[in-house]
Each structure stands twice: as C-alpha cells, then as structure tokens.
Homo-oligomer: A and B are copies of this chain.
Amino acid sequence: MRIECIAIGTELLTTRRLDTNSVWLGERLASLGLAFHRKTAVGDSHEDLAGLFREALTRSDLIITTGGLGPTFDDFTKECFAEVLGVALQEDAQSREDMLAFYAARKRVPPASNFKQALLPAGAEALRNPVGTAPGVWWQDPPAHPGARIVMLPGVPREMKRMWEEQVEPRLRALAGAPVHTLRMVVAGVPESALDERTRDVRERHGHLDWTILASLTQVELLARHADPGALEAVRIDFLPVLGDDLAATGAANLEDAVLDQLRARGETLAVAESMTGGLLAARLTAIAGASEAFLGGATAYSAMAKAALLGVPADLLAAEGTVSEATSRALAEAIRAKLGATWGLGLTGNAGPGAEGGAPVGTVFIALAGPGGIESRTYALPGDRVDVQLRATAWALDLLRRTLRNG
C-alpha cells in the first residue's frame, strides 16, 4: 500500500515550525507494518494544494493530510479535495451539533465562520473531534478512485493524535501488514564513522534487516527493522560482544534512562552540581518519570559566589584554580554528594562560550564523579556552539557515571 503524508500550512514553509505530526504518524504506521513513501509540506495556496492532491491521487492508495480544517479564510483542505474530485460540500448534521455543544459548554456562541467546519465532501464521513471544533474526514473510494482512502486530520497535534488513535487506526488495522518491529541500540562515546566500521560485519551478516544509523550530538543510534522479532533478537545478541561497554541503552531508552535504571537496581542515589550546563543535566534526569527514586536533586552554581554559597566550595580554591578547572569540578562533585547524602555526585564546570572564560577556550569541560570509592575526573574539548557544548557535556557526564556503574 502506497501511503503519503501532506502537511498543510504556510508556516511549515516559512517559519521555524517543524512538522512533528508526520513523524508521529510515521511511528503509528510502523506499528501497523506500514510506512510513508513520501511526505510533503505545502502552503495555504489553493492552487498548490489542489495540484498536490491531484498528484497524490495518481500515486498513493492512502493520503493523510494534516491542517487546513479550521474556520479561517486560509483553511480549505476539504474544499480543495472536493473540487479536485468534483463533488459538492454538504453540511453534516452531527458535526454542526458537536460544534454548537462545544461552544455551549464554554457558555459561548460560535462565530459565523465556524460553521464551515461542519461541511463535508459529499460521500465522505466526519471524524468527530472531542478536543476541538474541527471534525476530520474519512473518505473511502472517492469518485473515480476506487480503493483509495483520504484521511484529513486537524493540524493541532493533540486533536490529530486523539482522532487518529480513536477513529482512524481502528479502520486501518484491517489493511495493516505484519507489524514492523524495531531494535534500537544507543551507543555513547563512539563517533558515527567508527561505529559504522565496527558494526559492518554484523550488519552484513544480517543483511535481510532494514538498517539505519542515526547520529545526533550526544549519541549514535543503530536501528534495525523487521517483521520477525526473533531475527532482531538474534542480531542484538551478535552485537553484544562488538559493542561492549559502548552500548548505553536499548529500546526506547536513552542515556538518562539507562543511568536511572542502573541506580534504581542498585538502590543508589545521585546528586549533580552544574555550572555551565546550567540545569540541563538535572532537567534531562527529571524528564524521566520515576527519576525521584534515584535522583535527589542538584545545584546550578552558575557564579563563583553561588558555588561557595550553595555548596560551600572554598573561595580560596576557586581563586587559586579558577572556576573552570579540574579541581573545581572535583570540589563540586564532592560537595553536592555530601550535602544531599547521595551515593554519587557529579560535578561539571567549563566554558560553553561564546567567549573565552578565565583562560579556558570555548568547549573546555571538566567533569568529576564522586562515589563510595573516591573521585575520578575527566577533561574534554567539546566542539560546537554554546548549546552544543552544554548538551554534549551532559551526555559525557551521564556516560561517565554509566560506565563506572557498569564496571563496578
């Protein structure tokens, strides 16, 4: 089945808005053993949209659109499809009722423009929207295109996802292929090209799987996809000796999940003292539900004074060694560990830029880990701009703890 996604909205062509809807939809299709062969973003131009719909009908069996279902002048997804397929728009009584009820519940009257949302192409079915006022559309076997299906969804993610889960996915299950399973392995501390070489033999031995290597700032993901979970398990086992300690997490987990799991399994706790990563390391950990079992908290000791006031780092050490130094990172790690009574304390200090700081070039980072056996520390020279350096530093800090726990 050929499936394509059309994301509608000029903001997708001209602003920083990212089309995340099609990414979410792609994952939902994968669970049904399906995939997009193409995704297109197009603007609020009647002509461009109608042209794109005509094309899509010639090459795809299932067309999923997001956006353009609202009440304003730049919403005309339904109008365009109706025009291309030569049918009229008709008011759907249930959609009209739903909209009136939505406004009544908020003690308001719908603006006149809202009523166009209750119109549907003749022959299509409304998908009710419990979260908003714009119904979606399910159109099976439109004129001159037997076997085709058109699904028009709202652009607002929360509305789109709920409509998909409750009304679209059940209809598609009948058409679904065998679910495609994914093996995802997250590798930390190894550059992409090195990982590509190291894993080539195993990947070629399992060449019947669909392989992808995705490098990001802080980790590299190895993805293998196949309908047979047994085939994926076999390759996972083959990878263990090849990846060794570099394998940080599998499945949906990332570095922070892996570290929290390790700590919870050992009944141990962590506290962090950050300087130039300014709260990012704590934020990564606390984004994970259940983090509180292992993560006690931390300090963002952004200034020299804060390092002294919050953590008791001696002023003369800061003066002698500088705030950006190995000694300071060690002092931070020890201090936060003692203050919160944690098993482990991570201390980070460095220069994320843009300017040189205290003699340290941009990208210089010192990370220390204080634990029951003592303190270890590492020095890094990290590339990229301010945010890059902050993100990379948090990843190296988590990975240092992960490897220490793995080997201890």
CB of A407 within 8 A of chain B? no
Which of B18, B51, B291, B354 meets A278, CB within 8 Å? B291
Which of B51, B214, B283 meets A17, CB within 8 Å? B214
CB of A141 within 8 A of chain B? no
23 A-B residue pairings within 8 Å (CB atoms): A12-B39, A13-B26, A13-B35, A13-B39, A18-B23, A38-B41, A38-B43, A39-B41, A39-B42, A277-B286, A278-B287, A278-B291, A279-B279, A279-B280, A279-B284, A279-B300, A282-B302, A286-B390, A296-B305, A297-B300, A300-B300, A306-B340, A310-B340
| Closest chain B CB from A347 CB (angstroms) | 14
CB of A212 within 8 A of chain B? yes
Given contacts A279-B285, A282-B282, 5 further A-B contacts (CB under 8 A): A39-B41, A278-B285, A297-B300, A297-B303, A305-B341
- Interface pairs A-B: 4 shortest CB-CB: A278-B286, A279-B282, A297-B306, A279-B279
Copies in the complex: 2
CB of A40 within 8 A of chain B? yes
A46-76 to B contact mask, C-beta < 8 Å, 1/0: 0010011001000100000000000000000
Contact in complex: B27, A52 (CB < 8 Å) = no
Which of B55, B276, B295, B353 meets A55, CB within 8 Å? B55
CB of A281 within 8 A of chain B? yes
Which chain A residues have a beta carbon within 8 Å of chain B's beta carbons? Answer: 10-20, 22-23, 26-27, 30, 35-43, 45, 48, 51-52, 55, 59, 212, 214, 223, 225, 271-272, 274, 276-287, 289, 291-292, 295-303, 305-306, 309-310, 339-341, 353-354, 386-387, 390
- Report the Cα distance A295→B17, complex, angstroms: 29
Contact in complex: B306, A296 (CB < 8 Å) = yes
